[in-house]
Amino acid sequence: MKGSATATAARAPLFTLAIVALSGLSLLAPETFELSRAGLAAGELWRLFTGHLTHHSPYHLLVDAGTFAILGSIVERRLGAGRWALLLAASALLISLAFLALEPSLESYRGLSGLDCAAFAAALWLEAPVHRTMTILLGAGFAAKLIYEQVAGGFLFPSTNLGDMGLPVLSAHSIGAAAGFGALLALRGTLGCRREASEGE
């Protein structure tokens, strides 16, 4: 595993960049790919996965996909493209199902930020053996942010709103983080990685 991890670390994060590119393309026809109850009811099950790639505006895409590029690169270098793709698919499915169950008023959803949070949780998990203090601090900060959002009913920095690009879904971050973390734990065996494998960097 150690050698494999070192090898993947040297490669460009192609899968992550492909996802970013697909997100950009989906801006051309977001209605076809967004997560929507009506679409799913009509049998368009791909929306469970593609909804995360769609966005309400170029600005929305820029912040979500930019963050994804950073976090995806970290995770992809640790896990390799195949395992990262598996983790991402599982997270996307979990997040979509969680939205459908926990946000009954939501008719449709767009945005990579749920997966961003999943990637962030995964990155912390993978980094923890190497950068223990840093990951504990960032993990605590992340947890505090999620708790604050749920308790206060708003973002810590409400000025960073969605503008005209739809309604911010407050639970996106906590659902995303939980899904990412859950998927990582559930797939640990399948992914064939242990956190120790990360020590190559």
Partner 1 sequence: MMTLVAAVLSTALSLAQDTSGTLIPTGGGPPLEIDSQEVLVRINNGVAVTTVTQVFRNNRPNALEAVYSFPIPNEASVSNFSMWINGKEVVGEVLEKKQARQIYESITAQRRDPGLLEQVSYKLFEVRVFPVPANGTQKIQIAYYQPVEYDTGFGQYVYPLEAKTKEFSRVRGTFKLDVDLVSGLPLKGVTSPSHKDQLAVKETAKGRWRASIETPRGALDRDFVLTFEHERETTGLTLVPFRNGGDGFFMMLLTAGRDQDKIVDPVNYTFLLDVSGSMGDEHKLEQAVRMIEQLAGGLNEKDRFNILTFNIAASAMFPDGSEPATAANVKKAGSFLRALKPKGGTDLIPALEAAGEQQRKDMTNVLILLSDGNATDAEEHSRFRRLLERGGRVRIFSIGIGNEVNRPLLNTLAQATGGYSDFVSSADEVDRKTKHLAAKILHPVAENLVMKVEGVKTYDVVPDRLPNFFRGQQLAVYGRYNGDGKATVTMTGTLGGKPVTVSTEVEFPKSERDNPEVRRMWAWKRCDELMQENRSRGETATRVDQIVELGKEYSIVTPYTSFLVLENDQQYRQFGIEQRNARQIQDDRAAQDRRAADSAPRTTRGSGGGGGGGSVELGFLALVGALAGSRAWARRRKAA
**Which residues make up the interface to partner 1 (CB under 8 A)?**
34, 37-38, 55-56, 60, 63-64, 67, 70-71, 74, 103-114, 116-117, 120, 123-124, 127, 130-131, 134, 138, 141-142, 145, 153-162, 165-170, 172-173, 176, 201
Report, in Å, the least distance between residue 189 CB and partner 1. Answer: 26
Residue placing its CB nearer to partner 1 in the complex, 137 or 186:
137
Q: What burial letters (b/e) apply to 132-162, b meaning 16+ CB within 10 Å?
A: eeebeebbeebeebbeebeeeeeeeeeeeeb
Residue placing its CB nearer to partner 1 in the complex, 72 or 80:
72
Give the relative orientation of helices 58-79 and 14-26 as an angle to the nearest 10 degrees.
Answer: 160
Sign of CA dihedral 8, 12, 13, 15: negative
Residue placing its CB nearer to partner 1 in the complex, 74 or 191:
74
DSSP string, 68-102: HHHHHHHHHHHH-HHHHHHHHHHHHHHHHHHHHHH
CB 112 within 8 A of CB 23: yes
Report, in Å, the least distance between residue 178 CB and partner 1. Answer: 13
Sign of CA dihedral 34, 36, 38, 42: positive
Report, in Å, the least distance between residue 190 CB and partner 1. Answer: 25
Report, in Å, the least distance between residue 48 CB and partner 1. Answer: 15
Report, in Å, the least distance between residue 19 CB and partner 1. Answer: 15
Residue placing its CB nearer to partner 1 in the complex, 81 or 142:
142
Residue placing its CB nearer to partner 1 in the complex, 87 or 124:
124
